[in-house]
Structure formats: C-alpha cells, structure tokens
Amino acid sequence: MPRKNIFILIGFLISINFSAIAQYKVILDSVSVNADNNVIIGWKVLDSTGITNFKIYYWDGITWQYISDSVPLTETVYIDTILDPSESSLQYAIAGNDSTGPDPISPGHNTIFLESEFDFCNSEIKLTWNGYNGWTSPSVSQYKVYSIKNYTDTTEEGRVGGNVLEYTVKNLEGESHYGFFVRAFSDNSSSTSNMVSLDADILIAPDTLIGNYVTYTGKILEISFTVDLDADVSSYKLVRSKDYYDTYDTVKVIQSSQITDSVFTVYDTLDYYEDKYYYKLIAVSICNKNISESNIIGNLIIISSTDDNQTNLLNWYPSVPGIDESYNIYRRRTSNWKDSILDLVTTVADTAYSDDVSSLYLNESDGKFCYYIIGTKASNTNYHYQSNTDCAVQIPLVYIPNAFTPNGDGKNDEFKPIISYASDYNYQLIIYDRWGEKIFESKDITQSWNGTSNSKPVKPGVYIYYLNYSDAEKRLINKTGSVTVIYP
C-alpha cells in the first residue's frame, strides 16, 4: 500500500475516534473506590459551552438512572456515598446540562469489583476481579495487587497484564488481618477496586515435632516423640528405613485423637532382634497434607565377640550417624539371666570397647557374658535408651592336676578339675582303676575325689579319669587323662 494511503487511513481512523468523542461535551476520566468504600467519579470537560451543571448517572441493569442532577460546573469529581461497590461492579456515566436540556450521556465506566477465595490448607488467597472498562485508547496496561497487613503496612504483592484478572497471594501469616485491593493503570489514569478483608485463620503447623529416642523393651522397640498438641494435625505417620539415607516406609498411622500427652511412645515389633532401623514421625494436617516431620532417630545395636586372651570385643552402631552421645556399658555374668550379676563396666563416647574378663576367671561365670548399652544424647540428657543384648561366650578353661596326695594332711588331699567359663550342664567326672573298674563318679561340678573307693583309700598308682563338661552354650566337651595317687 502506498505511504500516502496509509496516512489517509490513519487520519480517517483518528477522525472517527475524535468524532465519536466530539459529540460529548464532558466524558468520564475514571471511577475508583476509596478507602471509605465510596466511589469517586472523575471527569474532564471537552466543551463547556452552554453547560450550567453536570448530571451523574448509574446503570441499573436496564437503563441509566441519575444519582445527582445538579453538580456544579466548577467540580470535576463526585463521590457516590449511596451505592455499594463491595457488592458488585458499578457503571457510571455523565452528561452536561445546558439551557436546552441534558447533553448526550457519555460512555460508561465501571468500577473494579474484587472478590476473594481463601485457601485455608495452603495459607493463600485467590483474588479475582472484572476488567476495568471505559478507557478506550490506551486501555488497561496492567493491574497491581496490594495488601495491607494489620492495618498499617501497604505492600505491592505483584502485578499482572491488563488482560489478566486474577492473582494468588501465598504464605499468609496466621493471626493477622489482611486487606487487599487492585489498581488498574493506563498511561494517564488509574482506578482502585473495593477492598476485601481477611482475618487469616491459617493452618497451624507444629511448633514442636521431635524424635526423642528408640529403646529396646524385650524384643520390641519403644519409640518416643514430642509433638505439638495445638497444631492442626489429624494424624501422624510413623515411618522407618533400614538405611538412614534411603526411602522411609510407613509402619503405622496414629490418629491425633489417640495422643493425650505431648510426649508419647509408639511400639514397633522387629522382624529380627538385631535389625537396625531408623524412624521419623510425619505430621499430616487436617487438609490431609504432610506439613512437618521430626528428626531421625534409631535403635542402638551392639555386637560382641571374643578373642584368645579372655577379652570380649564390643562394637555398636550409634543411634544415628554423626550424633554426639555417650554410652554406659552393662555386662551380665552367667546364663541364668534372672540371678545373674549385673556390672556397669564403663562409660565411653566411642563405639567400641574391649572388656578384659580374665579377672573373672574363678568368679561366678559360666563363660557367657551378655552386654547391652544405654545411650544418652549430649543435646538432651533427659532421655536414656537401651540397645539390644548380645552375648559373647568364652572358651572354657580347664586345669586338671596330674597327681594328688590323699593322706589327710590338708594339702592336696583331693582331685578336682578346675574349670572356668563352663556350664554344669551334663557335667560328669568318672575315675577308673588300671583294670577299668569304675571307682568314682560324680555329676556335681563342685564335688572332688578324695582318693577312696567304697570308703577305703585306694592304692598308690595311676588312675584314669573321664571328664564331661559343657560351655555356656551347652556344647559338650570330653577330656580323658590320668592322675597319680601318691602317699608321701
């Protein structure tokens, strides 16, 4: 198209626009809602010839009705205190009055009617509004969204393009009052919506959700947590994993209504006694969303073994990696758990210990030493938690004299194997003479042979013994040898 024709077309369009406006002596500039929820109507006079005053109109849905028919010629603003812009969008127009009657009514402008939808579960509010109509060229370039928190601070929350009519304000704070309004902008004018208000009753997440400890109670784990009873929580999920860094699976769900104390315990049965597990508690909101989770806690696992020097080797896993905790090591002697001797061996911060039991060689012990530890966190010494129990079995130590002198002088008068770290299970001592005749038998580990047979002293010489005894695990051990009877 030739450039001359383009200029002619542009001039024609402009002339159409001005000719449309030219029929009005006064047109609206903007309509806007003020802080008192009244509508401010502004206008500009294009031709005041013959105008004596102004007439303000509103659209009732069918026709134009006037709300004032005698606004002075000197005014360019009118405040409508009758209609309520917080109930719907209102449309206004204006006309000049002259001696011949009212001029044509100007094109209408409508207020921005702002509505809101509060999302309690996500602590956010969605704002929607109708588009501002009335500005022809240029039209709305953008909308800005504002908030007033607790009646004082006005903040621009964001802005959207002139064709976008919604905005979501996120992360509202609880126990706060909010007011929201939207403002439309063109190059030379602006219009403010009504205000919507909200007393934010948002979802209350737990202030406290702490994993306290995991402790053994027999073959069951007791798991302790501290929770916030005032939080908007419907339930808690107990989850566990065999790997601290791996995926956690739900073990059980505890309803909030079941929890009456901020510190509560839950129990988990192990598949295997010495399984290592890590646990945490996940709070599920009344909106059925995970909103918080505790720190990770785990059970203590101790493993014991023996060496050849009457030493039991202890190693254990801390409750969780990298934790600062100390440990009391406890030891029980003899396999009779109820009547066994309990010793506090030591307190350490390490995760390994060598327990020298050589001093217990002749003390009450069948060679079975069972250990457990009680841990204490450096960050919270109020809680103590117990590990599993694991036992180390020492190899029985046996000393059998090769001679004795049963002459009644009180010195070396009896023959008795000296056995340590052994059980009396299936114990048997038999003495044979050199012709193979049994002359003594006992199943009492504490009984010795005094060198008699049928209550008479045996002759000096070599005798054969046959010895049965068991270790702490009731594994049978046999020994055969000879002992010499000597009469000095």
Please tell me whether residues 185 and 140 are part of one structural domain. Answer: yes
Residue 469 domain boundaries: 397-485
Q: What is the pLDDT of residue 465?
A: 97
CB 127 within 8 A of CB 162: no
Write out residues in the chain with pLDDT < 70, as ranges: 1-22, 101, 334-340, 362-365
Among 263, 241, 385, smallest CA distance to 325 is for: 385
> What is the predicted pLDDT for the residue at 2?
44
Query: Residue 404 has what pLDDT?
Result: 96
Residue 256 is classified by DSSP as G
Out of 298, 330, 358, pick the residue that ends a domain: 298
Instruction: List b or e across 316-334, with b for residues whose CB sees 16 or more CB atoms inside 10 angstroms.
Output: beebbeeeebebbbbbbbb
Residues 388 and 471 in one domain: no
Cα distance between residue 323 and residue 342, in whole Å: 28
Is residue 7 domain-shared with residue 105, that is, in the same domain?
yes
Cα distances (angstroms) measured from residue 313 to each of 302, 310, 316, 320, 424: 10, 10, 10, 22, 25
d(CA 26, CA 46): 5
At 37, phi and psi to the nearest 5? 65, 35
**How far, CA to CA in Å, does 339 sit from each of 332, 334, 336, 426, 456?**
10, 8, 6, 21, 40
Per-residue confidence (pLDDT) for residue 115, from 0 to 100 = 98
What pLDDT score was predicted for residue 18? 39
Give the up-direction half-sphere exposure of residue 34: CA atoms within 13 A in the CB hemisphere.
Answer: 12
Residue after which a domain boundary falls, among 393, 425, 458: 393
Residues 104 and 17 in one domain: yes
pLDDT of residue 273: 80
Q: Kindly report the CATH number assigned to the domain that includes residue 438.
A: 2.60.40.1220
Query: Cis before residue 138, ω within 30 degrees of 0?
Result: yes
Closest CA to 112 of 129, 126, 127, 128: 129
**DSSP reduced 3-state for 381:** coil
Residue 165 backbone dihedrals phi, psi, to 5 degrees: -125, 35
Q: What is residue 138's predicted lDDT score, i.e. its pLDDT?
A: 74
Q: Do 7 and 90 lie in a common domain?
A: yes
Cα(346)–Cα(9) distance, rounded to whole angstroms? 100
Half-sphere exposure of 250 (CA within 13 A, CB side): 11
- Considering its fold, how many domains does the chain have in total? 5
Same domain? 151 vs 76:
no
Structure confidence at residue 335 (pLDDT): 58
Instruction: Please indicate, yes or no, whether residues 389 and 442 belong to a single structural domain of this protein.
Output: no
179: CATH: 2.60.40.10
- Please name the helix (run of DSSP H) or strand (run of DSSP E) that holds residue 5, with its range, or none: helix 3-22
Can you give the pLDDT at residue 164?
A: 97
